[in-house]
Amino acid sequence: MRILHVEGGRHLYGGAFQVLHLLRGLHARGHRNLLACPRGCALAEAAAPVAEVHGMPMHGDADLLMAWRLRRLIRQARPDVVHLHSRIGADVMGGIAARLAGVPVIHTRRVDNPEPRWLVALKYRLHDRVVAISEGIGRVLVDEGLPSDKLRVVRSAVDFERYAGGCAGPEIRARLGVPADALLIGVIAQLIPRKGHRLLIEAAPDLVALCPSLEIRFFGQGPLAEALQRQIDAAGLSDYIRLAGFRDDLAEILPCLDLVVHPALMEGLGVSLLQAASAGVPIVASRAGGIPEAVRDGENGLLVPPGDAGALREAIADLLEDSARRRALGLGGQALMAREFSIDAMVEGNLAVYGELVG
């Protein structure tokens, strides 16, 4: 089977990393991948061994010429199916291009952001199938008017073994400027409003009073960096909370964390949560979107109401004071990831959707 994948993201994390997992799995099964993505993006280089990469200009939702460029590529490459992996214009322009070329088209929805019913009715008419990466996203789509017979759920996957090797030693913490005996909390998320970093900053003064050795690191980048730093400084927390930026060594860092906190207000599923659970790290997260599918309350973490800094503070404090419970939740997370979030399951799930359309 020849599959044209379209991904508009420029950075190799989140959804783009899921695309890479899928490309590798399909290639290993003998299928031919073609990838349309922004020129020079990180995914293009990583995917080159397993896909025929076509770099092109991609300028987001307002890039009307993207439909023309993708239609031309579809006519040249003659794929059996087109798989649209991101929004950023690809969902609409890629759908138009595939329809004009007469090729079956699938769109994977990775976020639970609400959309107006009129937009759902128009946009998803372009797609033969819509794949949600969590049951939570699927519920949002159906509630907004997507026909249920068009929806399929294929959960995101995690490379379990990459994160499950344990902490390599104190040099990892030294790399982050963290004392070996500190209790270390990590937040792995883009620095954008819906990830809820401000809630942890609000909760932090009481947590520091409870645990003076506490260290918190925000891993990620985004437009809120300066605003978050101002909030940290104003709260007198600059000795405890630091912005650590985007890291390409998370597989080494994650197993050395004591706790991962994810106070998101909205979330499709949360790939960083799958990675943390694979590393055996307990999680405190919001009960938002698809998060409860990745974080099972009492099994691999604790869930709190979205936007509730007080509940967040209490859940974190409970785990900071109970190392045995942290270990038990960490082991529960590893068992959950191995059981339900394998790359093979994700690849086979997408193949089953292709098979419905290609025959």
Exposure of 18 by Cβ count < 10 A (0-12 exposed, 13-18 middle, 19+ buried)? buried
pLDDT reading at 221 higher than 80: yes
Number of H helices, E strands in the chain: 16, 13
Six-digit token string for 127: 């797609």
pLDDT value at 41 more than 90 = yes
Asked if pLDDT for residue 10 goes beyond 90, the answer is: no
Dihedral sign for Cα atoms in the order 220, 224, 226, 229: negative
Average pLDDT of the chain to the nearest whole number: 95
pLDDT of the residue at 112: 85
Strand (E) or helix (H) holding 174: helix 170-175
> What does the chain come to in residues?
359
Q: In terms of domains, do 20 and 127 share one?
A: yes
- Do residues 84 and 36 lie in contact, with contact meaning Cβ atoms separated by under 8 Å? no
Tens-digit pLDDT profile for residues 11-23: 887 788 899 999 9
Does position 300 have pLDDT exceeding 90, yes or no?
yes
* Contact predicate 10/41, CB 8 Å: yes
Tell me what the mean pLDDT of segment 75-85 comes to. Answer: 97
Q: What pLDDT score was predicted for residue 89?
A: 81
More confident: 86 or 190: 190
Flag whether pLDDT at 359 surpasses 80.
Answer: no
pLDDT of residue 1: 96
How many folded domains does the chain comprise? 2
User: Please, is 222 exposed, middle or buried when counting C-beta atoms within 10 Å of its C-beta (0-12, 13-18, 19+)?
Assistant: middle
- The answer, yes or no, to whether residue 202 has pLDDT greater than 90, is yes
Residues 354 and 303 in one domain: no
Over residues 335-359, mean pLDDT: 94
Q: What is the CATH number of the domain that holds 332?
A: 3.40.50.2000
Provide the token pair at 303. Answer: 């869930």
Whole-angstrom Cα distance, residue 306 to residue 296?
Answer: 15
Q: What angle do CA 59, 146, 18 make, to 5 degrees?
A: 50
Mean pLDDT, residues 233-246: 96
Eight-class DSSP state of 186 = E
State the pLDDT confidence band at 287, using cuts at 50, 70 and 90: very high
* 214 pLDDT more than 90: yes
Judgement on whether residues 178 and 323 belong to the same structural domain of the protein: yes
Q: Are 276 and 260 in contact (CB under 8 A)?
A: yes
What is the C-alpha separation between 111 and 225, in angstroms, rounded? 22
Q: What is the mean pLDDT of residues 199-213?
A: 97
**In terms of Cα–Cα distance, which of 239, 244, 123 is closest to 182?**
239
- Residue range(s) defining the domain that contains residue 129: 2-157+342-358
Q: Which helix (H) or strand (E) holds 75?
A: helix 65-77
**Same domain (yes/no): 191, 208:** yes
The whole-number average pLDDT for the span 162-167 is 91
In this structure, the answer to whether residues 131 and 219 fall within a common structural domain is no
| pLDDT given at position 132 | 96
* Same structural domain, 288 and 352: no
Residues 173 and 306 grouped into a single domain: yes
Return the pLDDT at 264.
97
**In whole angstroms, what is the distance from residue 54 CA to residue 42 CA?**
13
Same-domain status, 69 and 84: yes
- Distance from C-alpha of 327 to C-alpha of 333, rounded to nearest angstrom: 10
Nearest to 349 by CA among 132, 140, 142: 132
Residues 168, 79, single domain; the answer is no
Position 312 confidence tier, pLDDT thresholds 50, 70, 90: very high
DSSP code, position 297: B
Single-letter amino acid code for the residue at 340: E
Residues 199 and 92 in one domain: no
Q: Which of 40, 67, 13 is nearest to 274 (CA)?
A: 13
> For residue 86, what pLDDT band results from cuts at 50, 70 and 90?
confident
The helix (H) or strand (E) run that includes residue 271 is: helix 271-278
Do 299 and 198 fall within a single domain?
yes
- What's the mean pLDDT in 257-278? 95
The pTM assigned to this predicted structure is 0.83
| Mean pLDDT of the region 133-150 | 94
In this prediction, residue 119 carries a pLDDT of 87
Q: What is the mean pLDDT of residues 325-351?
A: 96
Question: Mean pLDDT highest for which of 111-125, 160-174, 243-257?
Answer: 243-257
Block residue for tokens 């080159």: 48
Residue 330: φ, ψ to 5°: -60, -45
- Percent of the chain residues topping a pLDDT of 90: 86
185 and 306 both lie in a single domain: yes
Q: Confidence band (pLDDT; 50, 70, 90) for 60?
A: confident
